[in-house]
Chain A
Amino acid sequence: MASKISLIFIPLLVLLAIGYSLAKKNNAYSSFIKGVEEGLPLFKELFPSIIAMLLCVTLLKSCGLIDDIKSVMMKWIPQSETIIDLTPMILFRPISGSASIACFDAICKTLGPDSFTAKIAATIQGSTDTTIYILALYFGSVGVTKWKHALKTGLLTDVVGIVIGIVLAVIFLR
């Protein structure tokens, strides 16, 4: 049910964009071309940090550290597999968007994009953001050094987002 409703989101959105543009007598085609072009410089911006973070993620996986932690943990708590698979992504999430996306990519690659873990991961990605990075970027840009309660509020909110993401996915996508 949840996934059925989700399905109509994207076609509807594209329809809304084009329909509204038509109603306002705008040139939708040239707007689209312009917008796509504006996204291209992102390649140069993203590539270095993705490669850097992928190095961390690849090593974490291939050196066996995560597998070893996993097998030790699973002896004690057999249900913890999913949580351990998600842990690197969750830990990276507040610091670096590139790193947590690289982790998400690794989850999709090893467990499959439709695995239960990947679905939880997707829900978490949608309901959290790179808290520490955002705060540092925005406050840094205007020279604000005293953040008041921004950091603890942001991080607690992320924790809540993660818990909600897991709970929702467990209930509806299992």
Chain B
Amino acid sequence: MKLSGLKYLAGQGIENIWKNKMMAFATFCVLLISLLLVGISVLFYVNMNSMILGLGSQNEIAVYLDPDTPKDVVSTFSDRLYEIENVERVEYISKEQAYARMQSQITKGQAIFSYIDGYDFMPDGFSVTVWNIDTIELTTEDIANLEYVQNASSSTQVAEFLRELRQVVTLIAGAIIIALAAVSMIMISNTTKASVFSRREEIQIMKYVGATNAFIRTPFFVEGLVTGFFAGAGAFFITWAVYKAVYRIMHEQGALMNAFGIGSLIPFENIRVTVAVSYLAVGALVGAIGSVVSTRRHLDV
């Protein structure tokens, strides 16, 4: 096909939106609602996951070195820990800090400390947090196997609980997202079908004058693409506003945020581009494909 032909067909697609504005508006609304339903569910899940991970990151591995570990080894030991894949953060707990912590924990029988001379007997320690709570057990083992490590321990119960919680959340959220996506596809398919049905005669006339299927479908493709793109843009701006509002409300809940970790909620700025591109691409694609697929049954004349 020549460029002039393509230009004409693309122009027809845009023009058709205006000419069939009621049906185009219906398609736009259905696409917008569908995108919002699925998009917000995905964002909810992503944040939920992040919050659970935030909870998990507070679960640490306590690492104790042999008391007679050479000083130069202690000073570079955090580097060795960082070499382990899952290690996110390493905090050095000096003998002095460990002694102070022990003192604060033993409230009764403080007298015992009067018999202790200095804190040299305390081991040097590290508090290690991990990226992935699910593999904390393996990471603990890896750390325990390092030279000079007397003991490395973590609470596997918490890790286990959080892992299960995440699995349940993923399962439920996944099911909801799939169900919403399916409902959306049905709604979109019905709307585009209705939109195309109202123009079936137009399609038949085109067939009678010798138009190929591609020639007939191209304007419908462009029409669906543009409508879907605008629905994607609309969904993005609505999501932005809703997300910002929820984010602000959540941040105002200081106690809640402390429990999950301040950084657990993902700021919109961090995901803005991904959300925008996803909405626009999915909107345009679903709009275009829905429109083209719906023309199929009317092309057989």
A complexed with B: no
